[in-house]
Amino acid sequence: MDFDARPVELHGHRVFYRRTGTGPPVVLIHGMLNSSRHWEAVARRLGDAHTVIAPDLIGHGDSATPRGDYSLGAHASGARDVANALGHERVTVVGHSLGGGIAMQFAYQFPERLERMVLVSSGGLGREVSILLRAATLPGAEYVLPVLAGKPVRGLTSTGLKALGRLGIRPNADGIGIGEGFGSLGDVEARRAFLHTARSIIEPSGQRVSAADRLYLASWLPTLILWGERDRMIPVKHAYDAHAAMPDSRLEIFETAGHFPFNEDPERFARVVTDFVATTEAPPFDADRLRRQLTRPDEP
């Protein structure tokens, strides 16, 4: 199935997305330093039963890298706009890492546009996060990144991966995902967009944005939480905590996976998400219910 990048003009900026399959619409939102390309293995499988839409967030992949707002709210609005431009009024949103935080922000800003939510190794559910991402928020990171993302380092990474392949050793999904992510920072505008995004949600001591105090607002929404047991970027403890805060949610742990469970085992990932969509009913948005939740959060 075709999964090529296509452009759409939104608010004067060129945004790229990939689309495949037919059926109920599912929007895949990638993580920081990644792009729609990272969904390819699972998107082709999900496309057997769904219309799969995977945008490149502003500042990522092939999309524009303007000076502007790189907050979770801006990214959520961008995902909404791509879905709307393609004619989808309500969607199931699947968000990985940063994309998980965007998915939760989507649910908060546009609950009437959401049918289901899938959080994959999601940010925004606790303070802990890899030192690699925390380091990007330190003063002076803008001077270190050009070195890390420069051609010599990128060349060494590429050579190392090829050497492992010749030895019959397959690098795991985390190594590939992180390596490709830093490889995308060769462009000064991409580095600037990355730093704006990272510093809007992370500080040197950990994640600075949390959805924990608002998870109760998503209690009406069918939610699936997917995580790798061996995640070193965002600990699996966040998955269990989020599941406890949303007792009606489903929890699926990939025992041998790290931060990229959808690339570690795309077959299982697609099967779990397809079953989740097929066995849950998208509830209608109820403004009165939301009003009651906001004003009387302790009531059932």
Query: Catalytic amino acids?
Result: 97, 231, 259
Report the distance separating Cα 289 and Cα 231, nearest Å.
Answer: 36
Torsion of CA 44, 47, 49, 54, to 10 degrees: 120
Report the distance separating Cα 230 and Cα 75, nearest Å.
Answer: 28
At residue 218's C-alpha, the angle toward residues 214 and 223, to 5°, is 125
- The string over 19-46, giving b where at least 16 C-beta atoms fall within 10 Å of a residue's C-beta and e elsewhere, is bbbeebbbbbbbbbbbbbbbbebbbbbb
Report the distance separating Cα 64 and Cα 16, nearest Å.
Answer: 8
Q: Per residue, what are the HEC states of 167-186?
A: CCCCCCHHHHHHHHHHHHHH
Report the distance separating Cα 296 and Cα 35, nearest Å.
Answer: 39
How is 75-144 classified by DSSP, letter by letter?
HHHHHHHHHHHTT-SSEEEEEETHHHHHHHHHHHH-GGGEEEEEEES-SSS-S---HHHHHTTSTTHHHH
Other CB atoms within 10 A of residue 217 CB: 18
Place of tokens 């925004």: 124
Place of tokens 């001591």: 205
Report the distance separating Cα 183 and Cα 167, nearest Å.
Answer: 23
Which amino acid is residue 14, in one-letter code?
R
